[in-house]
Structure 1
């Protein structure tokens, strides 16, 4: 996803320091160093020539794979395109060359069925609201986005009553839908969890976003309540990304799993509103958006039926298609039926020839060519390891993360190894390439015993672990590992943190904000030969060390008391 790419944006401006060795990884070519006597920023890395890769985790090898995966040849790695075929073939060839075995019942590929929905003439699509105080028209991309979630080819929503349901949450001791019937109606919901607006530390988990705050949950709950439509009011702090990210994600084809893979109701109409659009909508109904928004953060909140109705009409093309997870594995030497699963999503946003300027390809270098290059590097280290790992190690380059974590969800529903034999998931997504850091950020710190494993690996490098500094943005729910977590498998999502060896936390924060604003889900996320790869090598060695320790143990890591998840009880 995004926040672990903490230092990439200012990599060219930084003079960073070297790395410490981690153990027990294969020997690497980079010497151990300390803050006190580090060399200045190294010369740009020359990517390894194809076919000349080393067994050790090396910056040159990583850079070669990253450059290839983020090249224009792969056309932004969009599922269902020629870019997918090039990408999955490359990953399969790398797995095979390393010496992995096909990881899905004798195949390198796991076919993930999908429905692709594309809004026809998005620019002409509008929402019309007629209220007690007037009428308003909302334009696609400028004011809102809209689309169907149940694969309806034609939608004609006429005079749908509008209900404000706060955060749209129905949880123990909190029900935003209390005493209101929203069947066939349009609900307006706020982003994030109850208590977010007034920063109430006693509601839900305070600043830490829970699954109830995820946009996916809000649509699911609205559908369960029978709503005809649901619109989430976007705000950048609460969502964790600007409205432009929402707009780009809803403007082109959107993917979902077939209903057979995701049982339960789906909304016919769903979308997002800007805050300005929400204020205009509420004003047309004679209501004060800001006052009602404040009320949603208070215990005893009651939903409000607005004196307004909404209408929209649009068409979508619906295509049944599929995409591929690419899976390879190393059989364990003594307990081959037990597995550690490394994941990284290979997909990105493809190309858009309607974009202004010369760059029309979303190359996704950071998000997530870094993760795929990373699991290939780790796979090569495991393949060369002596003695070999005792448990099996699975490397799963999953698809459709950008479409809602669909590839990982499908794998968890159809795993190569039973989930009760899956020891842990280690997920790589958006690795930092701005140089060494003094800390490793663990997204979801405090959830599972895997914290102890990464803490040990970090300490061997002279680093410490830290939690996510922006837990309100819910990064734990925004990458593939959450599917394993929801199924009860402890999951680790970690990489270099904000505290850069050169520049400290202020430089790290500046880099993170710049990346989110200027590169995340934009054509500007391109490979740069001048990145400083010493930090990412540290991270890969640490994640390899965690997997190696897990592979040679007989116990299974557990969730910690008070965690959001738990391993299912065995019969």
Structure 2
């Protein structure tokens, strides 16, 4: 998950329309407790939970803890008589050779693994080799008919290595006339780049890293070099994958351009409509050994059955996993505790369940609490649920996702990621304005946050999904404070061992306000008979309309 700051929010009361049953505005709100929330965060983010990586002892402890908390609250199992939805996955350890040979007509040179590139694989074979494989620069690696854009037009990349740019056409030169301008589409996501290269038959795909375009430094990718990665177990399914995939820093890509007789201006030319892929007349040689094991991780799921419309469900989600034990930092700390990301959201899910369970008037719709696995590995747990739903998609009212709660104080604003997507945005706007605050929107749309947490897998199925995160207008602080806090976390703590729980600085005040808001939005829907809708222009609207409730 990409990190954020705080949400404002105090309890409020929605005026009830003709489709809404009345309820007490205080019902459930007083149960939220900062001390209880912090207790759960402290446990989940402790070294004892080993960074909560799937397929480790940390997963066993985490899943057992969540099941026990849901059971103690008196929640019903969400999967028949079980609190677990098994998620079959492959655990892949790809160990790259220490170097890659680059051969040109003028000679050859070596690139050093980790420093100059990182590679891995989503396949489970025992080994892979690039043996003088031709390298092709394919611009952004995008095939988007609706934008009249095809970076692979007239190119056969079967058996070759494609090198592509991260983000959307136009971004690297600031041309807002292409695609959605500054806002990233799914075509800009690194996952799409690998998927498209595989569909084109490429043997390998290397994405050119740029910190602004990727929205995080190259070191984030280096943290996972030669470590195990998880994928859904797709054995027996016809899903294409490249033999090798990975990243290469921009300065190394420029070195490759020069070696092939070009220069960095190719990166600019790739932003022009009609750009044609460029064979670089370079050959790459390297290898990789692979060990794979197969097991099942667990989504943890509990519910409160609705009193009047039990077949209609509202799903709250948070991912319980983080990165486990990995490369030590300068202080020798190797436990990636993931306190903000996402012990906080997981603890919030428990508090959310406690609040709904405490209500004097039982929700009329079923409320589901889903703690998903392997978000950090590519939204795998939520992807599996979306393909294997335990509740019908056409009866799923909405998804509310929690990926990082506020460590600090209150804000006057709150941020909606995915402006103009669904009517859930209007629910939030009503809430904020009634409390004297205001709704703001994601200012870093180039980072593609709407495609980077578990709500996205629900949206792809047409289920309206709310992803709201931190405001920056802190009460009692100047306008620069919020931006400074966000910048500090992203640069120093995101996906680092330093994302740990600090009892002294984590007051819980802002997090409780976050949770009270998200609870109130869900409570409103729990007593409505109508379904929130996608707005005009949303790419998910048609999918919902095909499966109208």
> TM > 0.5 between the two?
yes
The equivalent of 1:563 in structure 2 is 538
User: Would you say 1:22 and 2:12 are equivalent positions?
Assistant: yes
Alignment match, 1:50: none
Preserved CA contact (<8 Å) 1:132 1:286: no
Q: Give the alignment's Cα RMSD to 1 decimal.
A: 1.7
What is the match of residue 309 of structure 2?
Answer: 335
Contact between 1:445 and 1:466, CA under 8 Å: does it hold in 2?
no
Query: Residues of 2 paired with 1:386 and 1:293: CA distance?
Result: 61
The CA distance in 1 between the partners of 2:125 and 2:6, in whole Å, is: 40
What SS class does the counterpart of residue 201 from structure 1 fall into?
A: coil
Whole-Å separation in 1 of the counterparts to 2:248 and 2:80: 44
Kept after mapping to 1: 8 A contact 2:375/2:382? yes
- Matched residue, 1:405: 379
Which residue in 1 is equivalent to 2:17?
Answer: none
Higher mean alpha-carbon deviation, 134-143 vs 363-372, is at 134-143
Q: Is the 8 A contact 2:9 2:517 kept in 1?
A: no
Where 1:485 maps in the other structure, the secondary structure is helix
Normalised to the residue count of structure 2, the TM-score between the two structures is 0.94
- Do the aligned residues in 2 keep the contact of 1:134 with 1:284 (CA within 8 Å)? no
Q: Does 1:159 align with 2:132?
A: yes
The answer (yes or no) to whether the contact 1:183–1:226 under 8 Å persists in 2 is yes
Q: CA separation of 1:354/1:3 partners in 2, compared to 1, >3 Å: closer, same or farther?
A: closer
CA–CA separation in structure 2 for the residues paired with 1:426 and 1:457: 15
Which residue does 1:287 correspond to in 2?
Answer: 262
Query: Does the 8 A contact of 1:327 with 1:395 survive in 2?
Result: yes
How far has the Cα of 1:217 moved from its partner? 0.5
> What is the TM-score when the length of structure 1 is the normalising length?
0.90
8 Å contact from structure 1 (residues 25, 381) kept in 2: no
CA distance in 2, matches of 1:405, 1:243: 21
- Note if contact 2:329-2:497 (Cα within 8 Å) is conserved in structure 1: no
d(CA) in 2 for partners of 1:449 and 1:306?
48
Say if 1:468 and 1:349 are closer, same or farther in 2 by CA, change over 3 A.
same
1:437-448 equivalence runs, <5 A: 437-448=411-422
2:113 matched to 1:136?
A: no
Across the two proteins, how many residue pairs are aligned to each other? 532
Distance in structure 2 (CA, Å) of the matches to 1:60 and 1:354:
31
1:528 aligns with: 502
| Alpha-carbon distance change, 387 to 248 in structure 1, aligned in 2, over 3 angstroms | same
Shift of 1:532: 3.0
The answer (yes or no) to whether the contact 1:152–1:268 under 8 Å persists in 2 is no
- 1:298 Cα shift? 1.1
Q: State yes or no: 1:309 paired with 2:283.
A: yes
The 1-side partners of 2:59 and 2:427 are apart by: 34
Q: Residue 187 of structure 1 corresponds to which residue in structure 2?
A: 162
Q: 2:59 aligned to 64, 84, 87, which one?
A: 84
1:519-554 Cα shifts (integer Å, max 9, x gaps) = 110000010112232221111111001101111111
Asked if 2 retains the 8 angstrom alpha-carbon contact of 1:162 and 1:305, the reply is yes
Aligned 8 A contact 1:346 1:399 in 2: yes
From 344, 363, 368, the counterpart of 1:394: 368
Match of 1:368 among 342, 350, 353: 342
| Distance of aligned partners of 1:117 and 1:460 in 2 relative to their CA distance in 1, 3 Å threshold | same
Structure 1 residues 76-85 or 459-468, which shifts more? 459-468
Aligned-partner SS, 1:150: coil
Using the alignment, how far apart are the partners of 1:338 and 1:429 within structure 2?
24
CA shift, 1:419, in A, is: 0.6
Unmatched 5+ stretches in structure 1: 8-17, 30-55
* 1:326-355 Cα shifts (integer Å, max 9, x gaps): 000000000000101100000001113755
- Say if 1:136 and 1:281, in contact at 8 Å, map to a contact too: no
